[in-house]
Chain A
Amino acid sequence: MTTSSNFSLWSVARHVLLIAGAIAMLLPFIWMISTASKPPSEIFSSELHLIPRQFALWDNLQTAFAKANLWRFLLNGVIVTVSIFVLQVLVALPAAYALAKLRFIGRNALFALVLFGLLIPPQATAIPVFLLLHKLGILDSYAAMVLPFTISVFGIFLMRQFFRNVPDDLVDAARMDGISEFGIVWRVMLPAAIPAVTAFGIFSVVAHWNDYFWPLIVLNSEHLRTPPLAVAHFRNAEAGTNYGALMAAAMVIIAPLLVAFLLAQRRFVEGIALTGIK
């Protein structure tokens, strides 16, 4: 697009601007790591320095894991996100297949409902669902954290769009081979939809790992806390005293997603961009 004659001047300017912005973006992360590596004496000083004179990362991490019970909470995060994702796929995939490939009365109405459901923000249904779970007596449990999210209209929508592009011939061939409709969903459509399922999986895992609102509402017990809640409670508990450990805890909480992101960037960007297409 640009002519090669002004190559060097613009190219340098571009990098300067982008690096300036990048520093702004990365500053919190750098500060977090730096603080997590400092002992309290260096943290509570008005003098600014980035590199700690005394390396205290290990101590801060130990404190974080001990005081904040991080292993437990990380495990909760894994349990909750994986359960949600698996159940979402179990619910969404058959429905998406039916909407995409089968003809039945009410199909258009159902799809219209799916589209309408996309417009409903999660906070809107919070109070009634909370009351429902309260009635069922399952508040303050894994079920309470997982159940409301097992229905993902976004997942249904996404899979249905994807399935529509899978050739009908594939389905007909499977039928002629004697596979039942249920079998077709799991043995034909799922393998064909791996990219879409992966992207959706990433979107779902990221969204639910990072979710603060819902666990806050439904949980009371400490042992069930998910990572965001863990950080929030740790912050409240420490209340301005042990920033080093707090920063270390924050590091641990965001590490899994960030590492996974750095390893599989393209998939992640696809998955998150999907929320936009929503």
Chain B
Amino acid sequence: MSDNAAAIGGIIAHPAARKEATPRRSRVSLTPYGLVAPALTLMAMMLFGPLIGVIALSFTDYQLGAPSLSWIGLGNYHEMFADRVFWIAVRNTLVYVGIVVPGAVTAGLLVALLIQSGTSLRGLYRTIYFLPVMATLIAMAVVWEFMLHPQFGLVNGLLREVGIAGPSWLQDRGTALYALCAIGIWQAAGFNMILFLAGLVSIPKQLYEAAEMDGASSAVARFRLVTWPLLRPVTTFVVVISGIRSFQVFDTVHVLTKGGPSKSSEVLIHTMYTEGFEFFRSGYGAALTVVFLGFILILTLVKARLADRGAQYA
């Protein structure tokens, strides 16, 4: 029977081959370039050009609207490293990342584990925990602001019930940054939860049964033997993604505190924004962007290195 099929195929292939001999070759060779041209152009214009541009700009003293610019080498960087505000911004950003990443990753992991450990109402819980991720951050930030209102806010109201006098969360130098961290964790936990759920679901059930047969009788033993080792790649991934997203924090800072009070909540991107788009010091803003890129690059390299090690599991 297979001989017949081959014969039929041969008959059909022949006339088509005759039709598409030379003309087709030259037609196809240009088409791919036509297909990718828009994308390529836009990538050059909006991604790579600007990337090179921002690095180049950081060595100039360009300001928006100025007639010309001059090359000042590392001048911007000197200014930056001598600027107290810059270091405060770096410190605050690192504190923010240092609090939000462990917080949001742990919260996401715990919620994912809890949801997966039972079968009832999984969809409902997933939806609820995911809502903060969906809701426009600015809108929710404004809600949080009112919640944290020293007199009429929910948080201090609840604390008052218990007899504690809550601080002015967003107006107090000691608490502003940490209030923003809380909002950040609240917003990011659901996202991490989804990633962890995907990881948990991909663990083969038979591994748990094998663990059971091998003597891992308690849930903790099974977690240590199966769940945690097999979640390691997902965990590293989530940590790095969370880190990168946390480094980009801007919205809450700009709307709620503007970096204050007294720069206690000033973060890197906010400084870049003020310098680049309020003072229009494009050169200096570019230098700040380069520093920001440096941090992101480190995180990305960490992700790539850890991903390689994790690939052995497959």
Measured CB to CB, the residues of A under 8 A from B are 1-2, 10-11, 14-15, 17-18, 21-22, 24-29, 31-32, 35, 43-48, 90-92, 94-95, 97-99, 102-104, 107, 110, 113-114, 117, 119-132, 134, 147-148, 150-151, 153, 156, 176, 180-182, 185, 206, 209-210, 212-213, 216-217, 227-229, 231-232, 235, 243, 246-247, 249-250, 253-254, 257-258, 261-262, 265, 268-269, 272-273, 275-276
Partner of A120, one of B47, B135, B146: B47
- The residue on A at minimum CB distance from B157 is A48
A–B Cβ pairs within 8 angstroms, 17 of them? A17-B114, A22-B128, A46-B160, A113-B43, A122-B248, A123-B250, A125-B50, A127-B282, A128-B54, A131-B64, A150-B42, A176-B16, A212-B250, A231-B139, A231-B142, A235-B255, A243-B146
A181 contacts across to B, CB distance below 8 A? 28, 31-32, 35
A28:B50 contact, CB within 8 angstroms:
no
B72 at the interface (CB under 8 A from A): no
Q: Residues 52-93 of chain B: 1 if any A CB is under 8 Å from the residue's CB, otherwise 0?
A: 011001000000100000000000000000000000000000
B103-121 to A contact mask, C-beta < 8 Å, 1/0: 0000100010011011011
Max chain A Cβ within 10 angstroms of own Cβ: one of B57, B135, B137 = B135
Interface contact tally, CB-CB below 8 A: 286
- A122 surroundings in chain B (CB, below 8 A): 248
Measuring CB to CB, which residues of chain B are less than 8 angstroms from any residue of chain A?
Answer: 16, 28-29, 31-36, 38-40, 42-43, 45-51, 53-54, 57, 64, 107, 111, 114-115, 117-118, 120-121, 123, 125-140, 142-147, 151-152, 154, 157-158, 160-161, 186, 189-191, 194-195, 198, 205, 208, 219, 222, 237-238, 241, 244, 247-248, 250-251, 254-255, 269, 272-273, 276-277, 282, 285-286, 289, 292-293, 296-297, 300
Q: Which residues of B contact A231 (CB under 8 A)?
A: 136, 138-139, 142
Measured CB to CB, the closest approach of chain B to A152, in angstroms, equals 9
Give the distance in Å from the alpha carbon of A128 to the alpha carbon of B282 in the complex: 8
- Which B residue sits closest to A265, measured CB to CB? B127
